[in-house]
Amino acid sequence: MNTKIIPIITLLTFSSIIFYSCEDNTLREYKGYAPIYLSYADLRSSVTQEQNVNLKNPGKIYFKDNYIFIVEELKGIHVFDNTNPASPVKKTFIRLPGVVDISISGYIMYADSYVDIVVLDVENIDNIHEAGRMADILPYTVPATTDTHFPMAYVDKEKGVVIDWELRTIKEKVDLNPTPYPVYQNYDLSYMKLNAFSASTGVSGSGVGIGGSMARFGIKGNVLYLVDHTTLKIFDISNKTAPLKVNEFYTSLNVETMFLTDKTMFLGTTTGMLVYDISNPAFPFPQALFTHAKSCDPVIVSDTLAYITQRTGTNCGWGLNVLDVVSVKNINQPVLLKSYPLVNPFGLAKDGDLLFICDGTAGLKVYDASDPAHITDHLIFGYPDIRAYDVIPIGSVLVLIGDDGLYQYSYSDVRNIKLVSSIPVVK
C-alpha cells in the first residue's frame, strides 16, 4: 500500500513544452495534470460526519476502547464498533480532507489534514466534531498521480491545497527568468484483549489508543509527537483541545515510522533506526543510530530487542528485503544480532513470543521469535493468501489492513488462524 502524497519539492523534468514570446513573460503550453484546489477556507470548514460511506482506499489503522478507526487516505476516517470482532458495526465516517495519520489520547483525536493538525472530540461517536486546529503546521504536500507519462503543472500554494489533478492542455504565463519546468511524479511514496463483549458506549476519557507499526504520530503522557520526513515536532497537549508546539528537531534522516516505549522513542528511517531518550517527554535526547542499507523501514521494539523490516521496490531505496533483529539492551549502542531474508516486508507486530510479519506477496507469516538467533527456522505458519500492509494484535484477535480491506483473524490456535470478520473495499 502506498501513501498517496508527495512533497511539493520533487524531481523536475522538461518535456513537450512550447514557448511563446510575450513581452516580459513567456507563455508555456503543454499537456499535463493541472491541480484541482481546495481553498484554505473550505479545508478548515470541511469536518463533517457522514453515514454509509464505503471503504475504498484504506490506509492506517488505529484501535481504542473497542473501536477501530480506518483512515480513508486523504479523504476521512471510518469508525467501527468492534465490541464483537465477529461482527464489527459501521458507525460513521468523518470527512477530513488530507488525513493520513491519527492518534488518540482519552477521547481526543489528533489527525493531519494537509497542512493542518485537527483536534477532534470523539467521545460521542454520534457527535464527532472539531475541537481545535493548528493551521499551517505541516509541510505542503500534493496527491500523487498514477500516470507518469505527463507532467504536473505548477502549483500555486496561495490558492489552497491540491486535492486532485485534471489531465488537460495547460497554458502557464511565466517570467523570462529561469523557472521550474512542470513537476513529474514518477515514483511512489510508502510512507502505518477482545474478550469483553459488553455493549460499547463510546470512547473513554482515559488512556491512549494503539496504532500499527507504520504510525508517524505518537503520544506520551501530555506530549504529542509527529514525525514528518526530517522533522520531529513536539506538542504539549496538557490542554488536549489546544495543543501548544514546544519543540522541533531536525533529524537529518528521512523518518517514516515511530515506536514509543516507556522512556525511549525509536524512529524508523530510510537508512536506519534513530533512538531518542524521552525520559523528559518534551525534550527528546538523541541516544543512538543504527544504520542499514537504504530502504523502507518500520520498527517495533519488545523488551531489549528491536525488529526492523526493510523492503525494496519503492522510492526509499534499493536495499534488501530483510528482517533485522537488533539488541537494544545497551540503548546507546544498538547491535545487529541477525538479518533474515524476506520477500517484501511491510508492517509487523509482536505478541509475547509470536512475531507477525506482513511479507508482501508472500502473505502473512507467523514466527516463534523466542530464539532471536533462529527466527526463520521457527515459522509456525505462513498464510500466502493474507495480504496485508500493517497489523495490530489485540488479545487473540489479529487486525490487518491491506489494499482490499480490513480483516480480523482469531489466533488462539496460531497454527489454524481463522477468519473472524472482514470489512472489504467497495470500489
pLDDT at residue 409, rounded to an integer: 94
| pLDDT (tens digit per residue) in 390-415 | 999 998 999 999 889 999 999 999 88
| pLDDT (tens digit per residue) in 223-238 | 999 998 789 999 999 9
| Confidence label for 15 from pLDDT (cuts 50, 70 and 90) | very low
- HEC string of the chain equals CCCCEEECCCCECCCCCEEEEECCEEEEEEEEEEEEEECHHHHCCCCEEECCCCCCCEEEEEEECCEEEEEECCCEEEEEECCCCCCCEEEEEEECCCCCCEEEECCEEEEEECCEEEEEECCCHHHCEEEEEECCCCCCEEECCCCCCCCECCCCHHHCEEEEEEEEEEEEEEECCCCCCCECCCCCCCCCCCCCCCCCCCCCCCCECEECCCCCEEEECCEEEEEEEEEEEEEECCCCCCCEEEEEEEEEEEEEEEEECCCEEEEEECCEEEEEECCCCCCCEEEEEEECCCCECCEEEECCEEEEEEECCECCECCCCEEEEEECCCCCCCEEEEEEECCCCCCEEEECCEEEEECHHHCEEEEECCCCCCHHHHEEEEECCCCCCEEEEECCEEEEEECCEEEEEECCCHHHCEEEEEEECCC
pLDDT at 197 over 80: no
pLDDT at 179 over 70: no
pLDDT at 425 over 90: yes
| pLDDT (tens digit per residue) in 35-45 | 999 999 999 99
| pLDDT (tens digit per residue) in 328-363 | 999 999 999 999 999 989 999 999 999 999 999 899
What does the mean pLDDT of the chain come to? Answer: 85
| pTM for the structure as a whole | 0.85
